[in-house]
């Protein structure tokens, strides 16, 4: 089993099932430090979180795991280079923000911002307003020196890189995938356009029914596992080999279907066009140039292919820098890293009709474009999102970026949005009033 499919793979099944048995453990009780996970020399057997056990992403162990992927799985570095970081400025206003109140979706009871952090099992929270950090808190496994799994926010990095290559004329969104990656010509991806892959409107036969042992997700997980294949295994080996086996189902461009394999196909596309691994391209175009404080890293399959769909781990403030790049349309620290039309193209969003067919009840009226989630609310907010509560939330009207790392017991953000989205709006409105 390949653990890194997380909530959009086998671990959704594992984490949901185990979380149900531990639903009495709140954020304080499930804190990995309080539980004593991986503490001691050596840790007691009942406190170990190790391989090859396949439950290290089950709750509450996941609250330790999200900060320690490279201790469990092979990774590739996203280098920040050897120059000095460009430090972010501070204008802290934490007490006032903690006291803000809002009403969660579907509730008649108000909640404070501070209460919302625990309710959503927050590990790290960063708020940037007008270019300065106004709020920064760490919990659970994370501190300012640590890195945390970004999960599907990795997809948004791949989408951003693809948009940069398009703006430079190196990638055509209307090109057929088969014209760039001939190895995918006989797969369902071959007849799709790059844009359809980027917006996840491809017609792919790909099942994520965790109760079915023959579902495609299990085949994908076995293929992508970085560990030795069992004796007699004859299936695909690695992400790229699996992608070549995907069959068509439905028509490309007909509807939005959130399927991680689209991002791994996009990773192959941008690597083929740029001549660089996703890790190398992310380092060259973003990490080395944005004043990052820390290297990031991405998990890889058994052949060293980076997991473009969800393998990134990074520091909280460095993802804040990503948010600033988006907010400032490609500029940071007085330098332009990519053309402003990159962000403009992402912000225009995708088809709301296609998106509505997917049934995201907490994101009604939204869309999905270039691996980013568009809310189309009154502030034109948009986000990178990942299972278990990860987000980079960009609010252009409020000149605000929010970055949250979390380890919510279950994977789907639909469980977290009813608190998170009204909370983010409350902070945005407070900051706007303070201008």
Q: Which of 9, 15, 58, 152 is catalytic?
A: 152
Instruction: Please choose, from the candidates 72, 65, 50, the residue with its C-alpha nearest in 3D space to the C-alpha of residue 15.
Output: 65
Tell me how far apart the alpha carbons of residues 126 and 136 are, in angstroms, rounded to a whole number: 5
313 forms beta bridges with 149, 297
Sheet holding 296-299, edge to edge: 75-78, 296-299, 312-314, 148-149
Query: Is the distance from CB of 5 to CB of 208 less than 8 angstroms?
Result: no
- What are the structure tokens assigned to 375, written together? 């809310």
Neighbours of 249 (CB within 10 A): 13
Q: What would you measure as the largest C-alpha separation in the chain, in angstroms?
A: 65
Bridge partners for 386 per DSSP: 390
Residue 403 near residue 124, CB atoms below 8 Å: yes
Backbone phi and psi for residue 237, each to the nearest 5 degrees, phi listed first: -120, 105
Going by the DSSP 8-state scheme, the letter that residue 5 receives in this structure is G
Of the candidates 12, 80, 387, the one whose C-alpha atom is nearest the C-alpha of residue 3 is: 12
The alpha helices in 193-289, defined as continuous H runs, are 194-198, 216-224, 239-243, 261-274, 278-282
DSSP 16-85: HHHHHHTTT--TTTT-HHHHTTT-SSSPPGGG---SS-S-TTSTTTHHHHTT-GGGTS-EEEE---SSPP
CA angle 374, 378, 384 (to 5 degrees): 25
CA atoms within 13 A of residue 415's CA, in its CB half-sphere: 18
Catalytic residue status for 152: yes
| CA 6/CA 401 separation, integer angstroms | 25
* 19: region left, alpha or beta (phi > 0 left; psi from -120 to 50 alpha): alpha
Helix (H, G, I), strand (E, B) or coil at 281: helix
Cα 116 to Cα 100: distance, rounded to the nearest angstrom: 10
Residues carrying an active site annotation: 152
């Amino acid at each position: 089993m390949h653990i890194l499919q997380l909530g959009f793979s086998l671990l959704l099944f594992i984490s949901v099932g185990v979380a149900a048995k531990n639903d009495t453990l709140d954020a304080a009780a499930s804190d990995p430090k309080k539980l004593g996970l991986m503490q001691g020399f050596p840790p007691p057997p009942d406190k170990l979180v190790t391989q090859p056990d396949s439950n290290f992403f089950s709750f509450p162990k996941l609250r330790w795991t999200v900060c320690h992927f490279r201790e469990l799985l092979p990774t590739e570095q996203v280098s920040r280079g050897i120059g000095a970081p460009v430090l972010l400025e501070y204008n802290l206003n934490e007490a006032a923000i903690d006291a803000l109140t809002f009403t969660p979706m579907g509730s008649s009871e108000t909640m404070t911002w501070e209460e919302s952090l625990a309710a959503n099992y927050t590990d790290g929270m960063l708020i940037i307003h007008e270019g300065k950090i106004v709020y920064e808190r760490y919990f659970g496994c994370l501190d300012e020196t640590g890195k945390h799994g970004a999960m599907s926010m990795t997809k948004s990095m791949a989408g951003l890189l693809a948009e940069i290559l398009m703006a430079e004329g190196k990638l055509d969104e209307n090109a057929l995938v088969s014209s760039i990656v001939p190895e995918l010509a006989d797969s369902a991806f071959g007849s799709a356009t790059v844009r359809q892959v980027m917006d996840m409107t491809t017609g792919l036969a790909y099942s994520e029914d965790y109760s079915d042992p023959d579902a495609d997700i299990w085949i994908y997980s076995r293929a992508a596992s970085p560990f030795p294949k069992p004796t007699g295994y004859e299936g695909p080996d690695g992400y790229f080999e699996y992608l070549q086996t995907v069959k068509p189902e439905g028509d490309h461009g007909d509807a939005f279907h959130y399927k991680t394999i689209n991002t791994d196909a996009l990773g192959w596309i941008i690597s083929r066009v740029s001549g660089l691994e996703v890790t190398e391209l992310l380092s060259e175009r973003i990490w080395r140039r944005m004043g990052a404080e820390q290297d990031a890293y991405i998990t890889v399959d058994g052949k060293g292919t980076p997991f473009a769909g969800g393998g990134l781990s990074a520091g909280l403030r460095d993802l804040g820098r990503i948010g600033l790049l988006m907010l400032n349309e490609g500029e940071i620290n007085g330098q332009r890293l990519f053309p402003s039309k990159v962000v403009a193209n992402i912000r225009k969003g995708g088809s709301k009709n296609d998106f509505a067919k997917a049934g995201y009840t907490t994101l009604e009226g939204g869309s999905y474009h270039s691996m980013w989630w568009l809310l189309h609310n009154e502030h034109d907010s948009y986000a990178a999102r990942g299972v278990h509560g990860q987000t980079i939330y960009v609010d252009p009207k409020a000149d605000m970026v929010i970055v949250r790392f979390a380890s919510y017991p279950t994977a789907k953000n639909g469980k977290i949005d009813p608190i998170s989205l009204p909370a983010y709006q409350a902070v945005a409105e407070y900051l706007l009033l303070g201008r």
